[in-house]
Structure 1
């Protein structure tokens, strides 16, 4: 016997409805496989821009590189793997963290530097967070983050920047 959930999505945009259906498919597949791991994010073909630019991204990353290497490693991994997602276990591996270490406040420096970029006018106030914790929506109250998201907008932009840099390198070699 299954559980039915009904919600009115009439006012939702088509991309939002599509994303919901794709998420339901992934969760259904995970349930059939018997895994509790969160599903890998769906990589949309088109990404809604929230204002991230190369200048804003480099401003935040440059400041993070002064002291917050693990956050940068997580952002880079989320971009490199193309999903915009890094699991909690991957964060511990990237940071060489002990199992007892808490990740409370892990996104704080990223958020602070993002706010500075917004104050400088490099980024709109409503831009997506550069590093967003992933929490299980079924759990109420305190919980550990399952992982972290980087906006797909940034992942797509980074892919474009890389392709452009490779193209420029190729034309220099010729």
Structure 2
């Protein structure tokens, strides 16, 4: 870390008290944002996610009524990034044999919204992918779902932060 200290002075004498308070608040918010970025892991090569972007996605899933997707992502992260179909049923609270078609759609919708808002790059990987057996050419039920290895550490950190914010 550098020992150089920089002081910035801004002449706000021409502004009202209310405007000076608003300027001070904005500066403080910006400094907090910068401090958060400094402690966050950088974008993972090929993964395209930051801890705060994953946290935002997880929070949005909960707000949108898909908390079960967050729980599936949590269990997959705890299991090295992979979760079986049977575990998805158990964790998501589905009955055996219930259709999982479209299970990752809400997760991918949020990813696309973050990409459109340029909060993550266009090539950001899916937070949860459906894995199929490549040796089976015809229709098959997804045997498992996975979190890409490149973003698994970031997902774990985001989940940890999400847990801490609940406390």
Q: Which protein has greater RCO, CA pairs closer than 8 Å, 6+ apart?
A: 2
- Aligned 8 A contact 1:134 1:148 in 2: yes
TM-score calculated relative to the size of structure 2? 0.64
- Structure 1, unmatched stretches of 5+, are 1-46, 166-174
> Is residue 117 of structure 1 aligned with residue 104 of structure 2?
no
* Aligned pairs, number: 118
Q: 2: distance between equivalents of 1:108 and 1:158? A: 18
- Aligned 8 A contact 2:48 2:120 in 1: yes
Q: 2: distance between equivalents of 1:162 and 1:102? A: 27
> Is residue 69 of structure 1 aligned with residue 67 of structure 2?
yes
Which residue of the partner structure matches residue 94 of structure 1?
Answer: 91
Which residue of the partner structure matches residue 79 of structure 1?
Answer: 77
Secondary structure at 1:64's aligned position in 2?
helix
> Is residue 143 of structure 1 aligned with residue 140 of structure 2?
yes
Q: Give how far 1:163 is off.
A: 8.3
Which residue of the partner structure matches residue 3 of structure 2?
Answer: none
CA-based RMSD: 2.2
- Deviations 1:78-128 (CA, angstroms, capped at 9, x unpaired): 1122x1110001001102211131000001000100000111111111111
Q: Give how far 1:160 is off.
A: 5.0
- Structure 2, unmatched stretches of 5+, are 1-43, 163-167
Alpha-carbon distance change, 161 to 64 in structure 1, aligned in 2, over 3 angstroms: closer
- Aligned 8 A contact 1:50 1:124 in 2: no
TM-score calculated relative to the size of structure 1? 0.61
Which residue of the partner structure matches residue 106 of structure 1?
Answer: 103
Larger Rg: 2
